[in-house]
Structure 1
Amino acid sequence: MFNGTVGVRHIVDKVEAKGRFSVLEHPMSPRALAAPLHRHHNEDEYSWIIEGRVGALLGDEVLYGGPGDFIFKPRGQWHTFWNAGDEPARILEIISPAGFEQFFDELSDLGGIDKVSTEALDALCARYGLEMDVDSVPELCKRFDLVFPGEPI
């Protein structure tokens, strides 16, 4: 599934992990911003880089990693991530506790982040305890030389 910025493949869902965690794979096209600046109120996210070069903004800290590197995005912290390279990138995303993985399904049903109405996105974010700063996208793209939305891969 492609939600307008990155691919989403469900690997472990909340049923399989008894609600403790979920695991997703996110393939990202070159130089693609994965999401606007955002923060989760209910979940921690752990990103394991499988392929490519990935950048992340955690608060004011900018991190870069490659295959085998791990990025922790704690709940309550403003963050985003992107493919920092000119080749495709992939991460495994562990979300704890489980449940937020369904956000991506609902977002896809609404047409993806680049097509959803502001009202529908606000309602979706509220249901999942997510704050999203969509106005951050132009500055992030300029600062890190990115595109938004990305291309399906």
Structure 2
Amino acid sequence: MSADRFILLQPGESRQTRVPLPPGFGVKVATTDSEGRLAVLENRLDVDIPPHVHELMDEFVYVLEGEMEIDFQGRTYRLTPGMCALLPHGIPHAMRNASQPPARALQISTPGGWDQFMEDLFAAGPAVRTSEGAMDLEKVNIVGERYGMRYTEGTMTLD
């Protein structure tokens, strides 16, 4: 029966992850909570997310606070609080913060796996970074391969 999977979180609370995620990342529903159907994260967009593609997951983003921009198929869309976007699997997109303080958004990915990708990425630590401290996207793509996730270009620094 599914009733044993009921989750109730208080404001500001997140699900425990197997490795600590940086401030600004909060797992609200883990892939394991939903039997793989979805993952729900609350994210603060502290860094620009370079062009990437999810081969398996659709990604839904709902802006809670602040403003962000999404690049999708040659166009840039500015999202303000209450706006949302569905980013279909298989199509590259990028995201950027467009406000101070940084935008805060709810991200729903289906099927799940996004939370597990983030855990694997942060568990890898220095192994996926360049000597300058930026993320080495080729190494990040190796981590993301099992989730159908890959960065297509750009640089990224996550702390």
TM-score range normalised by the length of the shorter chain = 0.7 to 0.9
The answer for the alignment partner of 1:27 in structure 2 is 44
Q: How many residues align?
A: 134
Q: CA RMSD in A?
A: 2.2
Q: Deviations over 1:73-104 (max 9, x none)?
A: 10011101111113221000000011222000
Shift of 1:59: 1.8
The answer for the alignment partner of 1:54 in structure 2 is 68
Largest Rg, 1 or 2: 2
Gaps of 5+ in 2: 1-20
The correspondence for 1:121, drawn from 135, 140, 146, is 140
CA 85–42 in structure 1, closer or farther in 2 if over 3 Å, else same? same
The correspondence for 2:150, drawn from 106, 131, 150, is 131
Shift of 1:122: 3.0
* Counterpart-to-counterpart distance in 2, 1:84 and 1:117: 24
* Counterpart-to-counterpart distance in 1, 2:137 and 2:32: 31
Q: Does 1:107 align with 2:121?
A: yes
The answer for the alignment partner of 2:85 in structure 1 is 71
Shift of 1:18: 2.2
Relative contact order: is structure 1 or structure 2 higher (C-alpha 8 Å, sep ≥ 6)? 1
The answer for the alignment partner of 1:143 in structure 2 is none
- The answer to which of 45-54 and 6-15 deviates more is 6-15
* Counterpart-to-counterpart distance in 1, 2:102 and 2:56: 30
Letter in 2 for 1:120: K
Equivalent residues of 1:8, 1:104 under 8 A apart: no
* Counterpart-to-counterpart distance in 2, 1:84 and 1:38: 19
The correspondence for 1:45, drawn from 59, 66, 71, is 59
If the length of structure 1 is used for normalisation, what is the TM-score? 0.77
Gaps of 5+ in 1: 138-147
